[in-house]
Structure formats: C-alpha cells, structure tokens
Amino acid sequence: MTAEHREIIRRIRSSAEAIRQAAASVPRGREGDPPREGEWSARETVVHLRNVLVMVHGLRIRRLIYEADPVFADYDEAAFRRTAVASDEPLSRLLEMAIAEHAQIAGLLETLPDEQWQRSGRHPELGAMSIELLARRVGEHGEEHAAQIAETARALAVW
C-alpha cells in the first residue's frame, strides 16, 4: 500500500477519535443546545456526520468496490438531518454509529489494492468520484466536524 493511502486510512481513524474526544467535552445535558442562534448543536453535528458517513461516503465507497462505474444518487442532507434530529436518538448511539462507520471504511480500505483506489463513479451534479477522493473526504469531514463540536463545547462551557 502506498504511503498516501496509509495516511488517508490513518486520518480516517484519527478523525473518529477526534470526534469522540470533542463530543466528550460537551457539557453534560447541553448536547442539544446550539452554541449561538442559528448554529448546530453538538448532537445535530453528530447526526449530520453519521448520516453523511453512512448514506454518502460509506455507501459510495462500497458501491465503488463492488460495482463498475456506478451513478450516485443525490443526497438531501438537510432533510435527512431534520428527520434524524426530530427522532431524538441519544448522542451516545449517534457517536457509536459514526465511529463504527469510520472503522468499517478504514477496514475496507486496508485490504484494497492500490490500483483499486482510482475506481470511480459519477454524481449527476458533482461529476466523477473515486474511492480515493471519497476516502480522503471521510477523514477531512471528520476533522472538520470534530473541530466544530469542540468549538461548540467551548462556547457552551462559557455560559
């Protein structure tokens, strides 16, 4: 496996740990409170993260591993997030699912031959997407939202 692919997998795993740590820093009982008007709560951020991991990145990577040139459906992030937030799933369950999906994606990629990382499919609006592109995005997306959750925790701790 190339050093670049090993680094992508490392980032996927480390971003999951960063999410876990950031969520642990949210003041108890404040998981559903937004840090400021119009911003996402920690719970809403984790809902979004879990949904995108499972229904976008994870699903697309799996399809690319097993299908030739798949066409990806569009994903209505806001609608799925609203539905999941309304369901009031506990933050612990949402985190468990997001972290497990990181681990599953990393596990799939660890066994993937380097030449397979360029397998790609098409999104009607976003164009070509390869396994490598999506895998890189898993780690980046996790890091972005871990930072967002940590910032939310800091803001909530102040009030």
Angle value at C-alpha 99, between 143 and 157, nearest 5 degrees: 60
**Which run of H or of E encompasses 34?**
none
pLDDT tens for the chain, 159 residues long, are: 999 999 999 999 999 999 999 999 999 999 999 999 999 999 999 999 999 999 899 999 999 999 999 999 887 666 666 666 667 788 899 999 999 999 999 999 999 999 999 999 999 888 999 999 999 999 999 999 999 999 999 999 876
Task: Note the pLDDT of residue 21.
Answer: 97
Task: Note the pLDDT of residue 24.
Answer: 96
Please tell me the pTM assigned to this model: 0.90
Task: Note the pLDDT of residue 73.
Answer: 86
Residue position matching structure tokens 């996927």: 12
**Where do the domains of the chain lie, and which CATH numbers do they carry?**
3-158 (1.20.120.450)
Task: Note the pLDDT of residue 85.
Answer: 65
